[in-house]
Amino acid sequence: MQIFAHDPFSLAITRGLAGFSVGMYPAALIAYVHYQKRSIGKFSSFGALGWMAGFLLAGLIGNIIYLFALSSLFYCFALFSALRMEDIEKPKIHVSYFSIDTFTRNIGTYLSFFVRHSGAVAVWTIFPLYLISLGANKFWIGTIYAINPAVQFLIMRRLDGFNNERLIVWGHLLSAFAFASYAIVQNYFLVIPGMIVVASSWSFLYVGSNQLLVERNIDKATAAGLLNSMIGGAGVVGALMGGILSQIYGFEAVFIGASGISILSFAIFKVFDKSRSLSTPELARRQKKC
């Protein structure tokens, strides 16, 4: 439907519908993978692989109309694949639809993730313009963006068995280093090491956060879904922050700000991460087998 948008208002409506759909399936898929006792890291790596393919196609094709049409076709393939998924036995829980218990018990994970990702979105909002200012063309912008998910695909597949809290901590710290490095480069080729570091940081943070939440909480789809909500909220806050900072102070201010925010998110996680898994008696009261 975005192909047929003819003004900012109609584009906003179609983008809102896209956000509504994206809000549904990621958390449900993560819960599905967990109940099958499969690796969340390996599952997440295929999302990164899709991002890589998308960035490369965007750089090669260039035509916006063709890209929207191709994206729609890919979603059709995804729909038919989803229809073939087998139903699985999972716990049936009794919680209020509007309960904030899961959020408050995991406030350290959610708040730190939101803060860090706001800084990241601020960077990615202005990053194509920054690359153009360094001399990159459309092909190189797409290629450089593709490095991030390519590295994520390799790293996410190898995070099983690592301590989730440590993954999250290193995700925040490496983010601070990567974003700061963008402020000092003089050529678009020199941003590539930073892309590798930020890909590592996001792999640690995303997989570690999802694994931590599904292991600690009985309402696993809700717990993972709230993390997806943090990504959506950060997309709004970060985009505004990136636009305002770059307009007033320049590109470098965005990178330094994102680095500082990542350090802040690290501190938030260390201070507020007090959540633990539900106790056995509490779990028994809230769960029964279907």
Cβ–Cβ under 8 Å, residues 108 and 272: yes
The domain tally of the chain equals 1
Domain housing 188: 2-289
Q: What pLDDT, in 10s, does the model give residues 60-73?
A: 887 888 888 998 99
pLDDT at residue number 257: 96
Give CA–CA dist 194/167, Å, rounded.
19
**For residue 232, how many other CB atoms are within 10 A of its CB?**
13
Structure tokens at 209: 């956060």
Token pair of 240, please? 């505004």
Residue 275: the pLDDT is 55
Instruction: Read off the pLDDT of residues 83-95 as tens digits, 9 standing for 90 and up.
Output: 998 887 776 766 6
Residue 205 sits at the vertex; the CA angle it makes with 191 and 58, to the nearest 5 degrees, is 45
Residue 283: CB atoms within 10 A of its CB come to: 14
Q: CA nearest 222: which of 21, 17, 20, 26?
A: 26
CATH number at residue 246: 1.20.1250.20
Residue-wise pLDDT tens digits, 127-147:
999 999 999 988 888 889 889
Q: pLDDT tens digit string along 146-202? A: 899 989 999 998 998 889 999 999 999 999 999 999 999 989 999 999 999 999 999
CB 4 within 8 A of CB 59: no
Gap between the Cα atoms of 13 and 118, Å rounded: 23
d(CA 76, CA 27): 19
Question: Of the candidates 39, 242, 228, 23, which has an alpha carbon nearest to the alpha carbon of residue 121?
Answer: 242
Q: At what angle do helices 192-216 and 25-35 cross, to 10 degrees?
A: 60
Q: Given pLDDT bands bounded at 50, 70 and 90, which one contains residue 124?
A: very high
pLDDT at 276 over 70: no
